[in-house]
Structure 1
């Protein structure tokens, strides 16, 4: 196996844990009741908010301003209060939504959007690119 393949596999595997616990549920989502789907959505949104609260100063400030506390039980009402991130905000500070150290960024996508204008930068880690459910099939590379 090449060094690049090992690097991709090891970094993707490290980040795979974030979605691994949902993979079985997602494969069987058509068999879930509406209550189970709602619970899955609430749990996912709660974990997302906790993650950005812990790892991003911009979102931590926004979440504090709407009364969010990671210790409180999740409610969709608090999620609905989060204002949408604008293109202008992303253009003013390309790092504003970054939740990982810059050294972990392996790919940067730029776009001017449909209407053109200044570039918007979207950054990805190895886990973002390769840490998806398909990776379960590649676990043998790590053994």
Structure 2
């Protein structure tokens, strides 16, 4: 008795494969462990909810995420190393050439920061209020 499609090499849930969802030790794919790219991965380069990973959504010039170009793995990717909507970038959400951080440009982390050193609208002034300086001047006519 011959069953069609039995013992075939196709299908999901691969282990140690390049790409595919729910894979372990793979380069790319969602929910992968020790993989480059993919969401919810540990020790991976790219992906959301990752630990020790350089990845993130909507990054440019990063390694990781889905819909990436020139990457290895990930869903809807073309020759890319995993990740969501990233183009050759190392992590960060909506970042350009940055190492992490949300909406930062060429910065190392931080939200919408521009290489500033804190401080609230201060101008190196040395306080002081309105000081009344009075001198006792006696003007009189002595006869």
Q: TM-score, normalised by structure 1?
A: 0.22
Q: Could you say which structure has the greater relative contact order, defined with CA pairs below 8 angstroms and 6 or more residues apart?
A: 1
More helix by share: 1
Larger Rg over CA atoms: 2
Q: TM-score, normalised by structure 2?
A: 0.22
